Structures are given as structure tokens and as C-alpha cells.
Amino acid sequence: MDKSHQVVSVHLLIHIGLIFFIFPTNIIDSTRAAHWIPILLGFLVHWVLISVYTKGLSRFEGENLIDIYLRYGKPVAVIFLLPLFVYMFMVTSVTIRAYAETISLVFLSNTPLWAVMLLTLSISAFLTSLGVQVIFRTSVLMAFIFIPLITFVLCMAFQNVDWHYIFPLWSNDFSFLTDPDYLESSFAFFGGFMYLGFISTKVRYNRKKVIWGSLALFPFFLIAVYIPVLTFGEDTASKYHFPFIVAVDTIDITWLMFDRITIFFLLCTVTFVMLFTALTSWVITEILRRCIPKTFRTSYIVIGLTLLTFLAGINIPDWRDVDFLFGVNAWVRLYIYLTIPSSVYILGRVSRRKAAAAP
């Protein structure tokens, strides 16, 4: 059965979860004017990578990334999958830590970080242990519940916008390409679609639909950066850690019974992040299951993994370290997201040629 809509909804939700937090700061820090240029560029890379990756995968019907690499021998698998494994693990712990910090900054200032982290992690671990189909079905439910709320907040966020701040529209300064902040922003651009290579046996999807569906993300990328820029101006927006959150804070709706709609927005997006961590740890478990004896139960792996993630997250002392780890992460990500899609694509072509040569 074709489950493209589930894949599209997961794809949209986890990216929305990643876009609205650290991404606006990264873009605002990396360039001074014409923010749409780096956004468009990043988005194009995102789009091309997805196309190449899914194209490569489509050559291997019913096989996941591990099967594909194992075909060409264990060393190949290790070269590609070990960095992926390390990256995925890092990304879950840093994400959980960063989002716990955001939650405590915005509304749970008295709650210790470990409690917030434990709660978010346990929910995402529960999701992971139930398997990938459950994650995908949950995403559809989440989309139904939360997308209207998010749309409402995003529309309202235009309340304090001053369109004059959109100028200058063009800048000849392309120094953002070498800016480490811009590299970090790749977290939102292509931090979360490696799962596509692992689900092909469990959740069938139409590659075209996913590729075109991902285009719907572009407005979100633009809004996340342009709302704070248009509300505060570039100079002021660059003073904030989470410019988008502060911009949402300035929304004033007298007829709404809630004073601060930031909390709603944050809670919606945090559930999306849980979805992201659940999916990422599911991928890690998939990889791990191949490395250890079959008799080991999956739920034990999940529990062990969650504990490790929790310990890693708790041992990151302050925000500076989170920032540093995001920086390190960005390099690993660059390596993974350049090598895996292209290698899968090339292997796909090779295998097809082989199949054509030996009928």
C-alpha cells in the first residue's frame, strides 16, 4: 500500500520542528542583508540531495541502506554507516539537550533540565520501541492536530512586521558560504532525511510525491528568518538567541484568552522534535540490530540507547558547549550528506548496468 502521505507528513513535521529554533539565528548571523539568498541556496541543496538520494534508492527495490552497502562488502558498509551512526547519536543527544534548554528558557525556568530531558526522551523512546509504522501514523495525527495551530501563530506573527526592513533585496556579499554559522544552518536544511533510506521495506512511498511535497517547506524556511528580521530589523534580530521565539512573543491579540501564544507554538514544535528524535533513534536501532546477535531484543536496544542519549545530554554543561557540538556536528553532517546520497546514486547506476549486461 502506498503510504506517501505519511512520509510527506513526517518529512514536513520534522523539518518544521528543526526550522524555528536555531536556524533563524544561524542565517541572521551568517549574512547581513538579503537573507533569502542563503535560504534559497540551502533549500536547493536540500532538494537536490533528496532527489539524488531517493533516485539512488529507487534502483534497489525492497532494500534498505544497510542491505545496499552490505552488497558491496563489509568495509564499504563501515565506511558509510559508521559516521552516520555516530552522527545520528550525536544529533539526538544534542537536539534533546538544546530543546530542553529552549523549553526552560521560555516557560519552565524552575524545572531542572534533566527532568525536561527525561520526559521528552521517554516519550520519543516509547515511540521508537513501537516501530517505524507507528511513528509514521502518529505523524499524520500530529499534523491534523498541530498544523492549524501553527498556521494560526504564523499568520499572527505578521502583526508587527515592517516591510521596509526587507530592503536591501540584493547583496553581493557571498561570504556566508564560508561562515561556520551557515554550515550549522544545514541542520535544518538537511539534518533529517536520512531515514528515507531505511524505511523502504516497511513504509512504501512514491519518490515523486516526497520530492514535490518537500517544496512546501520553503515558505517555512523563509518565514522563520523573515519574521524576526521584519519585526526587529537585522541589527536587533541578531542580538537574540532565538529570534523567532521573541518575535512570536511580541504578538498581541486582545481577543484571545491567552496572553502568550509562544507556549503553544513551542509545544507544537517540540512534539515534532520528539518525532524527529524517535525516528533518528529508530534508524540507530536498525543499524545496531545488524551488528549484534539476533537474540537481543529490540526494546533493550532502545532502552540502552535512550539511557546513553540521556547521559550524553546531561553531560553537556552549558549553551556554549551545545553551540560547539552543533558546529562539530555540522562537519560530520556535511560529510554524510555529501557521500551517502551520491554513493547510493552511483551504486544504483552500477547495479543497473550490471543487470543490463547480464540478462
Partner 1 sequence: MRTRLLLLKMTLAACCLLALSGCWDNRDINHRSLPVIMGISRVDSKYKVFLMIPKSSQDGTQSMLVMRTGQTITEIVDEISSNMETRVDLLHLKVIVFERKYAEEGLTDSISSFMRSREISAKSMVAICDEDLEGFFHHLQDTSESEQMVLYNFFEKNAGWSPSVAVTRTWQIFRSIHSYTRDVAIPIIKSGTSTVIENVGAAIIRHGKMVGQITEDETLLLNAFGEQSAHGKIEVLNHASVLIVSNSMNHHVSMKDGIPHMRSQINLKVSILETRGDPSVDMIKDELDTLLTQRFNRMFKNIQQHEADILGVGQYFRTRIPRDKLAHWRTNYLPRMEMDLDVNTTIQNEGNLKTVKNESMN
Q: Tell me the closest approach of the beta carbon of residue 250 to partner 1, in angstroms.
A: 5
Q: Which of the ranges 16-24, 134-142, 185-193, 229-237 carries the binding residues for partner 1, by CB under 8 A? A: 229-237
Q: Which stretch binds partner 1 (CB under 8 A): 42-50, 136-144, 158-166, 213-221?
A: 158-166
- Decide: 262 and 171 in contact? Cβ < 8 Å: no
Shorter beta-carbon distance to partner 1: residue 109 or 178: 109
Nearest to 207 by CA among 12, 50, 13: 50
Give least dist CB 118 to partner 1, A: 9
Binding marks (x or -) toward partner 1, 233..272, rule CB under 8 A? x-xx--x------x--xxxx-x----xx------------
> Which listed residue (47, 146, 232, 244) binds partner 1 by CB under 8 A?
232
Q: Is 295 in the site for partner 1 (CB under 8 A)?
A: no
Is position 33 an interface residue for partner 1 (rule: CB under 8 A)? yes
Cell of 311: 547521559
Q: Please enumerate in sequence order all residues whose Cβ is within 8 A of that of 169, keeping only pairs 6 or more positions apart, or say none.
A: 34, 36
For position 210 contacting partner 1 by CB under 8 A, the verdict is: no
Query: Which lies closer to partner 1 via its Cβ, residue 230 or residue 305?
Result: 230
Question: Would you state the cell numbers that stand for residue 147, as one nine-digit string?
Answer: 498544523
Closest Cα to residue 58, out of 351, 354, 357, 359? 351
According to the binding rule CB under 8 A, does residue 109 interact with partner 1? yes
Q: Which stretch binds partner 1 (CB under 8 A): 77-85, 232-240, 271-279, 322-330?
A: 232-240
Q: Is 167 in the site for partner 1 (CB under 8 A)?
A: yes
Residue 64 DSSP class: -
Among the listed ranges 68-76, 83-91, 105-113, 295-303, the one in contact with partner 1 (CB under 8 A) is 105-113
Q: Is 107 in the site for partner 1 (CB under 8 A)?
A: yes
Q: Which is nearer to partner 1, 22 or 81 (CB)?
A: 22
Contact 150, 15 (CB under 8 A): no
Rounded to a whole number of angstroms, the minimum distance from the CB of residue 137 to partner 1 is: 19
Query: Applying CB under 8 A, which part among 14-22, 162-170, 188-196, 277-285 lies near partner 1?
Result: 162-170
- Please report, to the nearest 10 degrees, the dihedral formed by the alpha carbons of residues 187, 192, 197, 203 taken in order: -170
Please report how close the Cβ of residue 152 comes to partner 1 at its closest, in angstroms: 18
Residue 199: burial class (beta carbons within 10 Å; 0-12, 13-18, 19+): buried
Tell which positions 110-149 bind partner 1, by CB under 8 A: 110-112, 115, 119
SS3 content of the chain, % helix, strand, coil (to 5): 80, 0, 20
Instruction: Establish if 292 lies at the interface with partner 1 (CB under 8 A).
Output: no
First to last CA, the chain: 30
User: Exposed/middle/buried for 186, CB within 10 Å: 0-12, 13-18, 19+?
Assistant: buried
Residues ≥6 apart with Cβ < 8 Å to 270 = 17, 99, 103, 120
Using the minimum distance from each CB to partner 1, give the nearer residue, 160 or 339.
160
Burial class (CB in 10 A: 0-12, 13-18, 19+), 137: middle
Match 527525561 to its residue by C-alpha cell: 118
Q: Which residues bind partner 1 (CB under 8 A)?
A: 32-33, 105-112, 115, 119, 162, 164-165, 167-168, 231-233, 235-236, 239, 246, 249-252, 254, 259-260
